[in-house]
Structure 1
Amino acid sequence: MTTKRRGESAVLIVSGGMDSCVLSHYYAAAGFDLHLLSFNYGQKHVKELTYAERYISALRERYSNLEIQHQVVALPIAHLSPNSGSALLNPDQSMPHGHYTDDSMKATVVPYRNPNMLLQAATVAWNENARVVAFAAHYGDYAQYPDCRQEFVDAFNTMLNRAMDSDQVTVEVPFMRFSKAQIARFGASLDVPFELTWSCYEGGSEGFGDKHCGHCGTCVERYEAFKHAGVEDPTQYANDPELFLNIPGQRA
């Protein structure tokens, strides 16, 4: 586990999802004060930010001895990419349904999303004299998302070092070698409130209310993670993800 010096803080990039929730509990359990950054970049599932605040409120209650602040930062990624081919940004692009395959998941790539977010987080960390910036990329992200790979993290850390002629700030990715099922199992060991997290790329915006749609790739991935981890899934799904588990992801 990451160790902390007395009075040290970490800046974490967090969405409303289960991986980010586990990440937050991981650093809180290690004793870090936390500055949590969420981003509104024009994503269809902006509903996730409401859930981020929910699990962060619970985190504050559990770790009342720590300073935990949460800030939502606006990034103009969708505004700067009005004709984006990303299904997360473009309302005219359909979301893949079924189990994610390498090809179908690429439809959800948002160009330069993590570099944009990490640069904001590094700026905050520099200002607050924090040495740690972290995000919850994991092994399942590797094939589809270039900015979730260790090579990218290493290159980004080199850039940070060159930009300020200092190694004060370092990006950590503690779940890089974890599968999503391993993250679910680890989160369960930390008693993470998974019921307060949101993964679905369509729920909320497609008339499902507070239910996950159950058929988009990230719903199926979430369902599969809990199933393989042997952890109870508290998620309410509008459609049964089991029906889509063995269907290769396709555009709706």
Structure 2
Amino acid sequence: MPTNNRAVLIVSGGMDSCVLAHYYAAAGFHLHLLSFDYGQKHVKELTYAERYINDLRTRYSQLEIAHDTIDLPIASLLTNSDSALINTEREMPHGHYTDDSMKATVVPYRNPNMLLQAATVAWNEHASVVAYAAHQGDYSQYPDCRKIFVDAFNDMLAVAMEGQKIEVESPFMRFTKAQIAQLGASLKVPFELTWSCYEGGNSGLGDQHCGICGTCVERYEAFKIAGIPDPTTYANDPEQYLHIPGK
């Protein structure tokens, strides 16, 4: 159990991160939210993170809610990476996620890098909790979204410094994306202020999600299964890609 009511959260512009922020705010935690520019193609997400965080501050005005964006040189260090998220030469997979298409979006050591920055901030602010929004759908291809990784990272934190205890939490680890959407709806999360698309508003799409990349299809499917209205504007109809394996 946390020893105080301060938490440092890793947040992107996506719906899972937005629900995470509302989840801890609703529990009464003062928050320091950290976003990261790691060279991702969909850097547009950071603009949306600012939007839903501003809304969060208004709703939970009794809480301290700070937000910083940190530059991580992951893309510049992984110059030969096969990841479609950071390699401009790699095309983004389209269609519903498969193990192969999801594997194409793996960014090596992304979460460990982010969590170490968050733990450092937590140490400085005497926060007891660091959290991120890994969920059940991430498990198959993202090693740093698995319980064995979280446990190992917490073991590392326990021996890296003495005295103050900081615990990494991933409260949605066993949630499907649809269950996260349902939780968000119960918390009145402003999903319209979030961004998921890995195409990042490129190709003249502006503020429209592409509707054909794996994360757009996953987002659309989550709202559909949850029975919640999807406020997202898609350039293409994701329904047409629900049963097309990503490639």
**1:58 aligns to what?**
55
Match of 1:104 in 2: 101
Match of 1:172 among 163, 169, 172: 169
Q: Is the CA contact (8 Å cut-off) linking 1:22 and 1:187 kept in structure 2?
A: yes
Q: In the alignment, does 2:36 pair up with 1:39?
A: yes
Counterpart contact for 1:4–1:32, Cα < 8 Å: no
* Other-structure match for 2:24: 27
> What is the CA deviation profile of residues 196-246 of structure 1, one whole-angstrom value per residue up to 9, with x for unaligned ones?
000000041222100000000000000000000001000000000000000
1:161: which partner in 2? 158
Aligned to 2:82: 85
> 2:74 & 2:203 partners in 1: Cα distance?
22
Where do 1:67-82 residues align within 5 Å?
67-82=64-79
* TM-score (normalizing by structure 1): 0.96
Deviations 1:143-200 (A, max 9, x none): 0100000000000000000101346100000000100000000000000000000000
Give secondary structure in 1 for the equivalent of 2:7.
strand
Shift of 1:4: 7.2
Following the alignment from structure 2 to structure 1, what is the Cα–Cα distance between the partners of residues 162 and 200? Answer: 44
Shift of 1:3: 7.0
Counterpart of 1:194 (choices 191, 198, 207) is 191
Give the direction of change, closer, same or farther, for the CA distance of 1:113–1:220 in structure 2 (3 Å limit): same
1:116-195 mapped onto 2 (5 Å cutoff): 116-166=113-163, 168-195=165-192
Count of aligned pairs between the two proteins? 247
SS at match of 1:108: coil
- Aligned sequence identity (%): 75
* Alignment of 1:114 onto 2:111: yes
1:226 to 213, 223, 226: 223
Structure 2 unaligned runs (5+)?
none
Q: For residue 204 of structure 2, what is the aligned residue in structure 1?
A: 207
SS in 1 for 2:122: helix
- The one-letter code matched in structure 2 to 1:158 is D
Query: Following the alignment from structure 1 to structure 2, what is the Cα–Cα distance between the partners of residues 210 and 104?
Result: 24
d(CA) in 1 for partners of 2:82, 2:61: 43
- Off by >2 Å, runs of 4+ in structure 1: 2-5
Cα distance in 1 between the residues matched to 2:61 and 2:108: 37
Deviations 1:5-33 (A, max 9, x none): 4xx21000000000000000000000000
Q: Is the 8 A contact 1:153 1:171 kept in 2?
A: yes
